[in-house]
Amino acid sequence: MIAADTGHRYIDEDDYGPHNKAAWFNLITDSKNVVIQCPAMCRYVHCVRAFVVMMLRPLADIIASQERIGWGANEAIELARYENASPPIAAVKYDFWRNHQRPAIDTWLEVEYESLRGHPLWIDKRERAEFTARQTERIA
Protein backbone atom coordinates (compact mmCIF):
# COMPACT_ATOMS: atom_id res chain seq x y z
CA MET A 1 0.00 0.00 0.00
CA ILE A 2 2.76 2.44 0.91
CA ALA A 3 4.71 1.66 -2.26
CA ALA A 4 1.57 2.00 -4.38
CA ASP A 5 0.63 5.30 -2.75
CA THR A 6 4.13 6.83 -2.99
CA GLY A 7 5.25 5.40 -6.33
CA HIS A 8 8.29 3.86 -4.65
CA ARG A 9 9.59 0.40 -5.53
CA TYR A 10 8.42 -2.37 -3.20
CA ILE A 11 11.00 -4.81 -1.86
CA ASP A 12 9.82 -7.87 0.04
CA GLU A 13 12.02 -9.44 2.69
CA ASP A 14 12.27 -12.58 0.56
CA ASP A 15 14.14 -10.49 -2.03
CA TYR A 16 17.13 -10.16 0.32
CA GLY A 17 16.54 -13.05 2.73
CA PRO A 18 14.42 -12.40 5.81
CA HIS A 19 17.24 -13.26 8.23
CA ASN A 20 20.14 -11.88 6.17
CA LYS A 21 21.14 -8.83 8.20
CA ALA A 22 24.11 -7.90 5.98
CA ALA A 23 22.00 -7.96 2.80
CA TRP A 24 19.31 -5.88 4.51
CA PHE A 25 21.83 -3.26 5.69
CA ASN A 26 23.33 -3.09 2.19
CA LEU A 27 19.89 -2.68 0.65
CA ILE A 28 18.98 0.12 3.05
CA THR A 29 22.30 1.86 2.45
CA ASP A 30 22.33 1.52 -1.34
CA SER A 31 18.65 2.07 -2.20
CA LYS A 32 16.56 5.19 -2.60
CA ASN A 33 12.81 5.58 -3.03
CA VAL A 34 11.99 2.06 -1.90
CA VAL A 35 9.55 0.54 0.55
CA ILE A 36 11.08 -2.46 2.27
CA GLN A 37 8.85 -4.89 4.11
CA CYS A 38 11.07 -6.25 6.88
CA PRO A 39 9.45 -7.61 10.04
CA ALA A 40 12.38 -9.99 10.61
CA MET A 41 14.76 -7.01 10.65
CA CYS A 42 12.61 -4.98 13.04
CA ARG A 43 15.30 -5.31 15.72
CA TYR A 44 17.68 -3.14 13.67
CA VAL A 45 15.53 -0.34 12.22
CA HIS A 46 16.99 2.21 14.64
CA CYS A 47 20.48 1.49 13.25
CA VAL A 48 19.77 2.85 9.78
CA ARG A 49 18.79 6.20 8.36
CA ALA A 50 15.30 5.62 7.05
CA PHE A 51 11.70 6.63 7.49
CA VAL A 52 10.30 3.79 9.60
CA VAL A 53 6.64 2.81 9.52
CA MET A 54 5.67 0.58 12.44
CA MET A 55 2.48 -1.35 11.77
CA LEU A 56 0.46 -1.80 14.96
CA ARG A 57 -1.84 -4.79 15.06
CA PRO A 58 -3.49 -6.67 17.93
CA LEU A 59 -1.21 -9.46 19.19
CA ALA A 60 -3.98 -12.04 18.88
CA ASP A 61 -4.34 -11.22 15.17
CA ILE A 62 -0.58 -11.46 14.60
CA ILE A 63 -0.38 -14.81 16.38
CA ALA A 64 -3.37 -16.16 14.44
CA SER A 65 -1.73 -15.08 11.17
CA GLN A 66 1.57 -16.71 12.15
CA GLU A 67 -0.22 -19.96 13.00
CA ARG A 68 -2.20 -19.88 9.75
CA ILE A 69 0.96 -19.69 7.62
CA GLY A 70 3.05 -22.07 9.76
CA TRP A 71 5.52 -19.38 10.80
CA GLY A 72 6.30 -20.78 14.29
CA ALA A 73 9.81 -22.07 13.56
CA ASN A 74 10.98 -18.52 12.86
CA GLU A 75 10.04 -17.22 16.29
CA ALA A 76 13.13 -18.66 18.02
CA ILE A 77 15.40 -17.05 15.39
CA GLU A 78 13.87 -13.64 16.00
CA LEU A 79 13.67 -13.97 19.79
CA ALA A 80 17.43 -14.65 19.89
CA ARG A 81 18.01 -11.08 18.67
CA TYR A 82 16.60 -9.62 21.89
CA GLU A 83 18.06 -10.09 25.38
CA ASN A 84 16.02 -12.25 27.76
CA ALA A 85 13.06 -12.31 25.39
CA SER A 86 10.19 -14.74 25.61
CA PRO A 87 7.26 -15.30 23.25
CA PRO A 88 5.31 -13.89 21.62
CA ILE A 89 7.87 -12.14 19.43
CA ALA A 90 5.35 -9.49 18.36
CA ALA A 91 5.05 -8.29 21.97
CA VAL A 92 8.85 -8.20 22.26
CA LYS A 93 9.12 -6.14 19.06
CA TYR A 94 6.45 -3.66 20.15
CA ASP A 95 8.09 -3.25 23.57
CA PHE A 96 11.53 -2.73 22.03
CA TRP A 97 10.03 -0.27 19.55
CA ARG A 98 8.32 1.82 22.25
CA ASN A 99 11.17 1.80 24.76
CA HIS A 100 14.31 1.88 22.62
CA GLN A 101 13.79 2.46 18.92
CA ARG A 102 11.06 5.07 18.64
CA PRO A 103 12.92 7.54 20.91
CA ALA A 104 16.10 7.05 18.85
CA ILE A 105 14.58 7.50 15.38
CA ASP A 106 13.96 10.93 13.90
CA THR A 107 11.49 9.97 11.16
CA TRP A 108 8.85 7.40 11.98
CA LEU A 109 5.12 6.77 11.80
CA GLU A 110 2.88 4.30 13.59
CA VAL A 111 -0.06 2.95 11.60
CA GLU A 112 -2.91 1.00 13.14
CA TYR A 113 -3.46 -2.01 10.90
CA GLU A 114 -7.24 -1.67 10.91
CA SER A 115 -6.98 2.00 9.89
CA LEU A 116 -6.07 0.76 6.41
CA ARG A 117 -9.48 -0.87 5.98
CA GLY A 118 -10.67 1.91 3.65
CA HIS A 119 -7.63 1.69 1.37
CA PRO A 120 -8.38 0.45 -2.19
CA LEU A 121 -5.81 -2.37 -1.78
CA TRP A 122 -7.26 -3.61 1.53
CA ILE A 123 -8.43 -7.22 1.54
CA ASP A 124 -10.80 -8.26 4.31
CA LYS A 125 -9.66 -10.86 6.84
CA ARG A 126 -12.23 -13.41 5.62
CA GLU A 127 -10.82 -13.17 2.11
CA ARG A 128 -7.25 -13.59 3.40
CA ALA A 129 -8.03 -16.81 5.29
CA GLU A 130 -6.42 -18.99 2.60
CA PHE A 131 -3.56 -16.63 1.71
CA THR A 132 0.00 -17.95 1.69
CA ALA A 133 2.80 -16.38 3.75
CA ARG A 134 3.74 -13.74 1.17
CA GLN A 135 0.46 -13.35 -0.66
CA THR A 136 -0.79 -9.76 -0.78
CA GLU A 137 -3.30 -9.87 -3.63
CA ARG A 138 -6.32 -11.88 -4.65
CA ILE A 139 -5.62 -14.62 -7.16
CA ALA A 140 -8.21 -14.77 -9.92
What sign results for the dihedral spanned by CA atoms 36, 1, 9, 16? positive
Q: How does pLDDT run across 58-96, given as a tens digit for each residue?
A: 999 999 989 988 888 889 999 999 998 999 999 999 999
Task: Check: CB of residue 61 under 8 Å from CB of residue 114.
Answer: no
CA nearest neighbour of 55 among 8, 119, 7, 9: 119
Q: How does pLDDT run across 100-114, given as a tens digit for each residue?
A: 999 999 999 999 999
**What three-state secondary structure class fits 21?**
helix
pTM: 0.86
